[in-house]
Amino acid sequence: MNNNFQIDSNEPVLTGDTIDPANTPANATMIVPRGTGGEGLVAYANTGCGFDNVASGEPTQCDGDKIIYITGLLNTEILDFDAENQGVPVVIYPTAVALTNLDATAVIGLRLTSDDETGGLLGIIPVVGDLLQGVVDGLLGATGIDNLIEAVGLDNIGLAPVPTATGPNILRVRYEPEDPNDPNSPRTVPPVGLIVDTPDGLVFRIQFDLLFDAPALSLPLGLEHNVKSLPIDNVQLEGPLDFLPDGRLFIGLQSQEALDVDLEITLAGFDGGKVLLQIPPGGINLSYQSASIQ
């Protein structure tokens, strides 16, 4: 990806319907739905594409389209050997990187048959929502419509798929709190990783927090979202490093743990549900080269 925030026709991308997150290409991130992908007003959600069957929530398989690509630089400083931690500290000065667009489809509406029979829209309407939900539950049971819906396979007929596109995305590395025992203390300390020697060679490990922004994301029907400085905490990256012949340091890093990302949706200030997403283990893959240190 270049500074136009897009993948140009001559730039390589990984394609395929089924891709192991561990095979996420360099300088890319894979974002997938977590579980059904939805909560509350959002019955289901899928990233990259839509659904083969909206009524059943069966998503289309399109892993290649769940990958977004990264461009940007990390400002680093390599310090002297730390005898206590038996490694070489590397300071990562917080900066921002840009990512390409991510398409997604959220299925919004009233689930007529589910664990709570009328999950989705009615349940999230303040005050009257529970009352309406109880009335509809009663009507469905008294008339036998719920059994009919289940018998003929017309469950979730009230659902509507809503395709969206995030537009360019921004990730920002955060400073760490001054007091590690008080997460609310001022964030003024840059995160520090460690180069350590292992039986498999030199490895770089670091943990830090991120802020995620989708400034161009706009939802229909007056819905609002929280993808504005959305925290993604405890990002753990690890990978091998090597010194190139000209003195540059090459580092390849992949995420070690799953990272949950919840996009909250509101309507006129009221909770409207969530889109439940996840960056799977290995789903962040970064490759960076330093300036020559010879």
The residue ranking higher by pLDDT, 37 or 271, is: 37
More confident position, 154 or 214: 214
* pLDDT value at residue 159: 72
Between CA 33 and CA 277 the distance in angstroms is 4
pLDDT attached to residue 118: 43
Residues 6+ apart with CB under 8 A from 280: 21, 30, 32, 258
Which residues does 204 contact at the CB level (< 8 Å), separation at least 6? 90, 193, 194, 195, 196, 237, 238, 239, 240, 241, 251, 253
Average pLDDT of the segment spanning 81-89: 94
CA distance 258 to 260: 7
**HSE-CB for 97 with a 13 A CA cutoff:** 23
Most confident of 121-130, 205-214, 263-272: 205-214
Instruction: Give the phi and the psi of residue 271 in degrees, each rounded to 5.
Output: -60, 130
- Predicted pLDDT of residue 294: 62
pTM score: 0.81
Mean pLDDT of all residues in 25-41? 93
- Pairing verdict, β 169-173 and 96-99: antiparallel
Least confident of 40-54, 156-170, 216-230: 156-170
The pLDDT of residue 3 is 61
At residue 220, does pLDDT exceed 90? no
Mean pLDDT of the chain: 82
The answer to whether the beta carbons of residues 186 and 235 sit under 8 Å apart is: no
Q: Identify which has the larger pLDDT, 4 or 287.
A: 287
Cα 261 from Cα 178, distance rounded (Å) = 25
**Is residue 104 within 8 Å of residue 68, measured between CB atoms?**
no
CB-based contact 110:120 (threshold 8 Å):
yes
Task: Give the model's pLDDT for residue 6.
Answer: 74
For the chain, what are the domain ranges? Answer: 21-111+156-289
Which structure tokens are listed for 215? 């400034």
DSSP 14: -
State which H helix or E strand residue 240 sits in: strand 230-243
